[in-house]
Amino acid sequence: MQLSTTIADIAGEAQRVVSAATDQGTVVRISGGVAFQLRVRGRVELPRAPAKDIDLVVPGGTERRVSKLVTGLGYDAEKAFNARHGETRLMFWDPARDRKLEIFVGTFLMCHQLPIARRLRLERETVPLAELLLTKLQIVELNEKDVADMHMLLASHEVGSADGEVINTELIAQLCAVDWGLHHTVTRTLSRLHTDPPSYRLDPGLRKVVDGRIDRIEQAIDRYPKTVAWRLRSKVGERVPWYVQPEEFE
């Protein structure tokens, strides 16, 4: 029997939504700050503001079914926003807790577009680690919370050509090899991760681990063969905008 009201713990609430969806045979996975929290919990802790919103990802074409599920779990739909963006993005509010729940449908589109729903079934609760890291690597204007999320994930998970508890560098390299704009932002962000933000310092041992994993991601991206379209776009460079300004809803 599904609960009709939300719960205070944001990670537990996100898991409740996923569980309810699974019971109905619907694929829903957690992304955003809550997913980072779930994947690094008990492994690495850095100064980071608690997650305030829930981000979810669902396969394309399931927006109506998922909307019905979420409203049945106690959320109010942001009807005007959903009418405009419903095929790719949905917004809901938890009125009892003044908390936003956002759903990306089929694709993740913020500064760059990621085919984030393609491999949702690899994990039971969150999106795969490579896609989770990419949702932060694709951000052009980073804040310290974004940096802390990526540092914690890199500090607590190995990188390689597998999935599960490994960050799949091949998947990251493959996506960057067909999209120069994504490649440009991701490599810039990786370079920035070699430096600590003002609010904390990684201890020398952890810094060595994180830097080594960043280096291996960069090497995988460099090695992967680039498409003709990528090479043509690279000649234009930053003379033409290479990312979009994401629409934020308040």
pLDDT digits (tens, 9 = 90+) for 147-198: 999 999 999 999 999 999 999 999 999 999 999 999 999 999 999 999 999 9
Rounded-to-integer distance, Cα 147 and Cα 199, Å: 11
Q: Answer yes or no: is 101 within a domain.
A: yes
Neighbours of 203 (CB within 10 A): 8
Same domain, 10 and 108: yes
Rounded-to-integer distance, Cα 225 and Cα 62, Å: 34
**Which distant-in-sequence residues (6+ apart) come within 8 Å of 179 by Cβ?**
112, 230
Query: Over the chain, what is the mean pLDDT?
Result: 95
Q: Whole-model pTM?
A: 0.94
pLDDT number for residue 201? 95
pLDDT number for residue 46? 85
Same domain, 35 and 153: no
Same domain, 3 and 101: yes
Number of domains in the chain: 2
**Helix or strand or coil: residue 28?**
coil
Rounded-to-integer distance, Cα 123 and Cα 129, Å: 9
Domain final residue, candidates 123, 139, 162: 123
pLDDT number for residue 4? 47
Rounded-to-integer distance, Cα 250 and Cα 239, Å: 31
Q: Answer yes or no: is 243 within a domain.
A: no
Domain final residue, candidates 123, 151, 171: 123
| CB-CB contact of 136 with 75 (8 Å) | no
Q: Which residue has the higher pLDDT, 248 or 215?
A: 215
